[in-house]
Structure 1
Amino acid sequence: MIQDISLNKIQVRDLEESLIDDYFKDEDAQKGLSSSLDYYQVLFEQKARNNFDNIRKNENEEIQDKVISSFNIHFVKAMTYAFIKGHQLAFKIVFDEGNTSFKADAFANQNSRSLFLFALYKYFPKNDLEEYIKGPKVNYLINYGTKYFENMFSIIIEDAMVFLKKGIELALTQINQEVHKDSQEKYEISSLLSVPLSQKFNVTPALDGGYALGNKNFEVWDIYWNDTYGPIKSQSRMATMLIKEYSFEELQNNITKQEQRFKVLNLFLSRSQIDVTQNFFYVDFMLIANKENLNVENNDFEKKKMFESLTQKLVDCSNLPVSNILFNM
């Protein structure tokens, strides 16, 4: 329970239902869930295609596509269900008088919300949580996966746990807003891309970033798996990103000087769709994590999806067109 706040079970239920309803009615608010569903659904489909059972492997492409299409629909329904169950679970833990007593500012910043997620198994053992999310929609996805694929059970449970934790994160943010209705979380932001200087921020549905250094012309971000992947992965830097802003003239000048790392720009700047009236981001992405930190089976595919999401993050932060962002990998 939260200190100095007393709610009975009916009040807690009503508050949770009201807040999750408000969330789904707000198109801007639920963009985070929508982008997560899109991100993980694409990866899920790739894993499914690699795990057709022996019967389906020999079917023609049209039949396989129909099976995958239905699987994708039920994936979205199941992960949305897991998200909602996570939201409900957070309210149960926070307002249960039998659990830990939380201070009023317990969820006031990202770090404290992270600690709650990392301590989740303290409140519910992992096996209990897996049973908790196996409602009708997740069970249907599991049964469908068992019927047409091999080795999909653990993948489905793993993804459902990610969405359960995302639901918990939303609930903790909303609870903090309810407790502190007259105050907003304040933090300094960077000059170039307006990201927080002193706490992690969302970069993609799977990754968080941390501002390292920079000025009005460049920034360095440390990249981590987000909190849904657990304390070990989320606290170990998996990559570093250097984002440097250039004008069209500056890029041309660097090409003229024949600097090695800018040679690829000859091809980049030949694109017909680039906007030479706007600046460009040249991004050095330096992967620190070994391949075990990516899904080995879908390594290249997962990286492609990751870079698409990273590019979109830079577009959102800068309003530059996608065509004006180049990754050097």
Structure 2
Amino acid sequence: MFSRVWVFAAVCALLAATPLQAAEGPLVEVVQAKKTLVRDELVTFGSLRSDESVMIRPEIDGRLATLHFREGQAVEAGALLVSLDDAIARAEFAQARANLNLAEKNFERAQMLFKRGASNAQALDEASAQQQAARASLALAQARLDKTEILAPYSGVLGLRQVSAGDYLTAGQDIINLEVLDPLKVEFRIPQKAVSQVRLNQSVEITLDAFPDERFIGEIYAINPRLDVAGRSQDIRAHIDNDDRRLRPGQFVRVSVILAERPDALIIPEAAVMPIGDQLFVNLVVDGKVERREVTLGKRSNGAVEVREGLTGDETLISAGWQKVNPGMSVRTKAVEQGA
């Protein structure tokens, strides 16, 4: 009986001294660093604007005779949009042309008489002046007649008209707006501390609620050299291609200014980083044992962090369970995917 008790006690002591878990090592989760594109971005908000926007207005008073467009229609530069009643303008043009014909004939007679000595130089000068005045009157009448037809200043899309055929229009009265929708302008502001980071031809990306899963690429083309005194911010404009016309002027957008891009940056789970004082470390598994290595981190996003220095990309990192291990300790590993 005594010998059996002694053997049982010896076995328990042996198991306590060399437990199975210690022999195999603790179980930890490990991941591989991923190489992916990382961007340094300046995020702000802005609005979309038409590349060109104009309100079509008459330059002279007159009755609106004909509308040559449909609301929302795309038009080409130089297309006839509006015709005003031109009866008076045509009559003035005809009168001016008749006056010019008479003035030219009078000038020819004055030249003939002057050559024969039957007239003096003063009469010739007066006839010449009358001829020039008649030409100017004809040009003025032609300009007034031309202004009875209103043309599109550039290609674009028309908005909603404010008048109807038969209305009497005054000079400067709103008729319809014309918008250039491709490209569009993006107007946004940046704080003064970021002024040195933004430059011409820099890439931007915009997102908006209407298309939550899409990013639209643009480029900065204008920077206001003067900062707003009240907000200490700088106005920026970029162009966004809009050949499919899905984007609309006036939409509120989220703007990301791309400051730098690193296409092969190393990304690891933020949970794998172990801070010790002012230093940051990760725990690696090399030949089944723990190895600790100092790292320098970069951008953080959505539970992941960029490693700038300290890793080459082929290491196996402990992402969970590093709190219970020390350098040189043997461990068991369970591989997981980043983000799992």
Normalised TM-score (structure 2)? 0.17
More strand by proportion, 1 or 2? 2
**For the pair shown, which has the larger CA radius of gyration, 1 or 2?**
2
User: Could you say which structure has the greater relative contact order, defined with CA pairs below 8 angstroms and 6 or more residues apart?
Assistant: 2
More helix by proportion, 1 or 2? 1
